Amino acid sequence: MDDINLRPFRPDDTAWLVERHGTLYGRDEGFDETFAPLVARILEDFIANSNSERECGWIAERAGKRLGSIFCVTQDNHTAKLRLFLLVPEARGLGLGKRLLTTCMGFARGAGYREMALWTHESHAAACGLYRSFGWRLTDSKPVHSFGVDLVEQSWRIRL
């Protein structure tokens, strides 16, 4: 894993992130074509409005090949929101998720946030297990119909 670099997100990463989210969530979760445009809007907003002292995105890459992402954005003055946490299948099981989550949470602490929040789906068992192992708490869970499929939406929080 020493050959995997975490670097700041750049606007030219946008097309890759939108495509990977759309393709992988479509294949693995059955999400429809409404998901990728949501990712695009999140990234457009980040590019246009992010405050570099309080918000950051990271891209994991090996030999110039992108392997994953994670973002820390402002939810409110005291709470950071974790967004767009993604690992491509070939990068799973390497400890990269732990490294990305540690980096993101460390940034949030350093930026002065008191807690972090995230939104995910119950079907993301590996990610939810990782959150739990870091001390995150599941605060809400409810069935929804989103992106063309029935899901169980979850909200998680952690004090920093």
Helix, strand, coil shares, percent, the chain, to 5: 40, 40, 25
pLDDT at 122: 87
5-159 CATH, one of 3.40.50.720, 3.40.630.30, 3.40.50.410, 1.20.1050.10 = 3.40.630.30
pTM of the model: 0.94
> Please, are residues 47 and 56 in contact by the beta-carbon 8 Å criterion?
no
CA dist., res. 36 & res. 23, Å (int): 8
For 147, half-sphere exposure in the C-beta direction (CA atoms, 13 angstrom radius) is: 23
Determine the pLDDT at residue 118.
Answer: 97
Counting residues of the chain whose pLDDT is more than 70, the rounded percentage is: 99
pLDDT over 70 at 47, yes or no = yes
Closest CA to 66 of 41, 42, 88, 93: 88
pLDDT one-digit tens code per residue, 10-34: 999 999 999 999 999 999 989 999 9
Percent of the chain whose pLDDT exceeds 90 = 88
pLDDT at 1 (0 to 100):
62
For 105-154, what is each residue's pLDDT tens digit? 999 999 999 999 999 988 888 899 999 999 999 999 999 998 999 999 99
Q: In degrees to the nearest 10, what's the CA dihedral of 58, 2, 117, 84?
A: 40
